[in-house]
Amino acid sequence: MTVEVLDDGRKRVSAPLSDDDVRQLVCGDVVLVDGIIYAARDAAHKKMVEMLDAGQELPFDPVGAMLYYVGPTPEKPGNVIGAAGPTTASRMDKYTPRMLEVGIKGIVGKGGRGPSVREELKKHTAVYMAALGGGGALAALKIKAQKVIAFEELGPEAIREILLEDFPVWCVNDCTGGDFYSETIKPWRKNELLPEELWLT
């Protein structure tokens, strides 16, 4: 089992994730990611799709794996990595269906995902989680090791294998179609609550 429910209600996950693992993650959950995750951004995703189109294998086993949309800054001497905050996830929307088809089960980025990606998450029993935007220095503290495993010529956008220790994220889109961002704004939409009710919530 790769999902552990902690005493405080948070859930700790580590890849590889199975369908049953993913089903335990519900939008709104606070999740701690532990273990190996793969860093890849726009340029790396483009190359990975090209590899798949050419019938080639990816530089890591995608089955049950987790991706982190990050392009870290160069590390300073003595540090494992530089700032490692998430990049905007919607930039990977056009590549995500293909990644899910080959077995990716968890994705970490920043911001929301489009309707088509949410449907693909349902179709392939996968989950999207968001890390703290603007928290690159804090994120780096949860990274215990990292190495480039492919496309070194891309610099910060190379694919990296990253070892995380209880990296905090929030489940935004679960495999049932749940969307945490749309649910959280409902009470604040115009005319849904009267001014008096706002003060009482």
Q: Which of 65, 56, 59, 84 lies closest to 142, judged by CA? A: 84
Instruction: Give the C-alpha separation, 90 to 101, whole Å.
Output: 18
H-helix or E-strand spanning residue 133: none
**E strand map for 3-138:** 3-5, 11-13, 30-39, 66-68, 106-109, 127-130
Residue with tokens 């991706």: 67
Q: 111: phi > 0 → left, psi -120 to 50 → alpha, else beta; which? A: left
Q: Which amino acid is at 86?
A: P
Residues carrying an active site annotation: 45
Specify which residues 4 forms β-bridges with: 12
Which residues lie below 8 Å from residue 167, measured CB to CB, with a gap of 6+?
A: 32, 33, 34, 37, 108, 131, 139, 142, 143
